[in-house]
Structure 1
Amino acid sequence: MSAEDVEALERVAGMEGPVVVVNLFALRDQAVYDGDRDGPCSGVEAMLRYAAVSRERVAAVGGRFVHRGFGGHAVWGRGERWDLVVVARYPSGAAVLELFRDPVYLDVYRHRRAAVSDQRVVVSPPLP
């Protein structure tokens, strides 16, 4: 992760109370891995490799997936197109940071990086 990513996660960690994380993913046709550790596969297959482990790791920090589904076109906005939409709920921003300190999660995260050509991730606390 970049220094900018770490800084963003540290800001999220300061959010008290439950937070929702909305993930919008555009997937590559062919996954792009660093090195020879993983065999060639499609972006969808790489994301499925990630998903096979991420659910249990999210649960380990107290989170759960609220929605996982196919994407589509934005109704309002720039007309962006997304292949997948994933929404997760966590007990706090600190739980999101804890996930990114989990060595098992960090290892499987390589599949997400290989699969995704573009993404938007929004962390949102509830209204007061």
Structure 2
Amino acid sequence: MAVDPQGADLAQFMNEGPGGPFVMLNLLRFAPGGRALYDEYSRRAGVFLARYGGELLYAGDGSTPLVAGQGQSWDAVLLVRYPGREAFSRMVADPEYQEITGLRSRALAEAVLQPTEPWGTGGTPRTAR
């Protein structure tokens, strides 16, 4: 399973979305012993979030799912707001950030990074795409 964004995925990510702020949903499944590595990655990644205007909105441990299919249980969930896709792209391309990505890669057995965009005003969903 992939745990890090790849070049083609980043290119598609940059070409989608309406622009402006978005929230990245992070669903994480740790490799054996990976929690400590991820904690170290998180501690060091905070510098880069601040540098590129990102903000950790929520981080929490997963518990027993109420409704989920086989394999849809996650060890941790994070919500991170970014000012735009360009800021996220610059962050992951930063050579100093690249020095810590190995911690994240070794920490995770599986991950989902899902960009999300706010619904219209008042919480009303936009029409289906």
TM-score of the aligned structures, taking structure 2 as reference length: 0.79
> 1:21–1:122: 8 Å Cα contact kept in structure 2?
yes
SS in 1 for 2:105: helix
**Structure 1: stretches of 5+ with no match in the other structure:** 30-41
Which residue, out of 44, 68, 72, partners 1:77? 68
| Inter-partner Cα distance in structure 2 for 1:17 and 1:76 | 32
Counting aligned pairs with the same residue, the percent is 23
Number of the residue aligned with 2:102 = 110
Runs of 4+ aligned structure 1 residues displaced above 4 Å come to: none
Cα distance per residue 1:14-65 (max 9 Å; x no partner): 4301111000111012xxxxxxxxxxxx211110110111111011111110
Which residue, out of 65, 71, 90, partners 2:82? 90
Count of residues in Structure 1 that have an aligned counterpart in Structure 2: 114
Structure 1 pair 17–45 and aligned structure 2 pair: CA distance change class (3 A):
same
Number of the residue aligned with 1:63 = 54
- Superposed counterparts of 1:1-128, under 5 Å: 5-14=6-15, 15=17, 16-29=19-32, 42-79=33-70, 80-128=72-120
Letter of the 1:106 counterpart? Q
TM-score of the aligned structures, taking structure 1 as reference length: 0.80
| Inter-partner Cα distance in structure 1 for 2:65 and 2:100 | 29
The alignment's C-alpha RMSD in Å is 1.8
**Structure 2: stretches of 5+ with no match in the other structure:** 121-129
Cα distance per residue 1:54-107 (max 9 Å; x no partner): 111011111110001111244333142211111100011111111111111111
